[in-house]
Amino acid sequence: MRRTPLYIIPLLAVTILILKGCGMNPRSVSEESELDRKVDSVLALMTLEEKAGQLTLLTSDWDVTGPTMRKEYVEDIRSGRCGNIFNAHTVAYNRNLQKITVEETRLGIPLLFGYDVVHGHRTIFPIPLGEACSWNLELMEKSARLAAGEAAASGLTWTFAPVVDISRDPRWGRVSEGNGEDTYLGSLIAAARVRGFQGEDLSDPYTLAACIKHYAAYGAPVAGRDYNTVDMSEIAFRQDYLPPYRAGVAAGAVTVMASFNELFGVPATASPYLMTRILREEWGFKGFVVTDYTGIDELRAHGVAADRRQAGILALTAGVDMDMQSAIYMETMQGALEDGSITLEEIDRAVKRVLRVKFQLGLFDDPYRYFDDRRESSVVHSQEIMEHALQSARESVVLLKNEAFKGSAILPLASPRRIALIGPLADNQVDLLGSWHGAGDIDQVVTLRAGLMNRYPGATISYAPGCGFEGDEVSGFGEALRLARSSDVVVLAIGESQARSGEAASRSELGIPGVQEELALELIKTGTPVVVLIMAERPLVFPLLNEKASAILYAWHPGTRGGDALADILSGNYNPSGKLVISIPRNVGQIPIYYSAKPTGRPMDPGNKFTSKYLDVPNTPLYPFGYGRSYTTFEYGETGLSSESIGRSDTLVVSVTVSNTGATAGEEVVQLYTRDVVGSLTRPLKELKGFQKIYLEPGVSKRLQFRLTAGDLAFVNGKLERMAEPGEFRVMVGPDSAHLEEKTFTLKE
């Protein structure tokens, strides 16, 4: 007879019975945490095959009729050989899978359901790199919270997000999923998104278990090529790339995903240094580590494992708890245990970590808590989430250029009578969603064309694609140019398709693909004012277009409400406030280019050939980190310091007055940077240490204060210790990393 599922049995009673059978005093149970007691009570009942099943994650599939599951995987679930599923969603489908494990397996341990809810679930927000340009931590936390609620309402319990990889190489396609080039800002965003996904109580059925990825340093592959080797010093790793992962763990993330790359000669999936020493011993992480897709099996291709069995041994002993899709733990664990290659303690430790998260999610209390049809219908595409998608898209757009055209700036477009809407992204739903849009509902996407029609109901809006994303076909130029000549303004939407970014989408050249830039230059020649919207997932290279165009907006891939958001910005209904979180290079040869570079012994001197510079291009990017314009103007007063020197226990107050000197209300991101002038190791020319996003009406000023302590000035030294060294520091305040006022202070011993 099949046993009653564990979630129905009073767990404390089970624990006491088990401990009595082992000759232990039940009173010792009170010395352990309630959660650990529950986990141990289940673990004690499990067979080795069931334990391996809890460490196995297999995929669901999808076809035109909806989600499907391979027959052999269903049998793996039924037998207890698989305890976790990903790529399965919708309430009805996931409920049926959960019913199999709860009602047909020996112990009834609930399934986890994971999915890539990277920047939304059914309702899609801007790509993470774009949303990061809002510099609005509350907005990003809310995006994660709403995405979690929508995904949880669709039967999911776990998201493979947030991506917190620092990247300074836009050739890498997955730069779109992260938060840009800066460690400080990236760490704050990592924590905000974890808080959003997980909320205050993980058992709340409107939350998801978060997964910090890709651990570690995945955003720095050699040559920008996805899955490639990562090669850096341990100082650079700990100083620049590691902190966002730690911030996510400190914020409470209960899972971490091992990255595909190697680091220090060891693939992450087989690295005890990453998975045990740093993650668990240094940071105290108590959740579980999951591989990326087939990551364990790929240890063979890396050349550190001779076969699947050895790969599984390396991963488990390194501290990797769950095997995504390789099925290696399922197949090889028993043999490895029998010959002593792994221990039962190592297996149990991994299983306990997985069970712990399932208990935290409340799945043992009610394995069906995420399967509510009424909640699914009410939460998906709710008014709240759709309005937030609009606001997120508005704040992500960066105004790069808005110069005078025949006497006045082109933007905003107050009341055009005839608009020529041109470009492959002008009337496009799927590509506005961007890469990794997962279950995003294409039918809900508001295109740029629809957004303009909503915003300008009295205008004549004529549309022509002009060209496609790829190839050299120019037959559509004629119609586009005809519309341009007969219109008051051209709105040109060009850039990348969503397929050209994301995973396995690295590029060696970063120009605007195909003949799109050629089309733009021809349209500019007509004499009709042209507003260029660049929609992409990475910084593209466009120096000639930048020279010729009078108005440029970097719109990224803005998501479900992208068309409405862009129409609001073009019309002036919303004043753009986005600031770049990654530098835009002048050409690919400058890459990697980032604001926090270190000094050189021969700094650039245009009058001296033998200094650090290019012969054919300036050292500076086309647009620097932190840059973004507004329809109004902001004036910065003199920076003030509360003291010329501080001790290690003191706080330096940095103050500045910012005034809106234009005619339009707007938001400004006020940024503070520091430089350690002389150190035991070379230090960056500047580092972001604070920012405030403020809203000012015309003619209004605001006095801002920033606080710096010795902890803010610390860095990883040659002993791999994080500490601040006494000496001279410079503090810089301004609208971006290139336009700053500088003051000096001293940190005393």
329: left (phi over 0), alpha (psi -120 to 50) or beta: alpha
Cα 296 from Cα 308, distance rounded (Å): 8
365 is catalytic: no
From the list 349, 352, 332, the residue with the least C-alpha distance to 341 is 332
- Residue 370: phi, psi to the nearest 5? -95, 5
The SS3 of residue 623 is strand
The SS3 of residue 618 is coil
Residue 130 identity (one-letter amino acid): G
Rg over CA atoms, the chain: 27
Residue 98 identity (one-letter amino acid): Q
Cα 404 from Cα 286, distance rounded (Å): 57
Encoded tokens for 253:
């993330």
345 contacts: CB under 8 Å, gap ≥ 6 = none
Encoded tokens for 562:
């992208």
The SS3 of residue 646 is strand
Question: What pairing do the DSSP bridges indicate for beta strands 715-716 and 701-709?
Answer: unpaired
H-helix or E-strand containing 374? helix 373-379
Cα 552 from Cα 537, distance rounded (Å): 16
Q: Which of 292, 321, 323, 564 is catalytic?
A: 292
Cα 248 from Cα 191, distance rounded (Å): 5
CA distances from 435 to 118, 284, 426 (A): 9, 33, 18
CA distances from 39 to 253, 354, 364 (A): 19, 9, 10
Strand partners, 421: 463, 491
The SS3 of residue 567 is helix
Dihedral sign computed on CA atoms, order 333, 337, 341, 346 = positive
Q: Which residues are catalytic?
A: 292
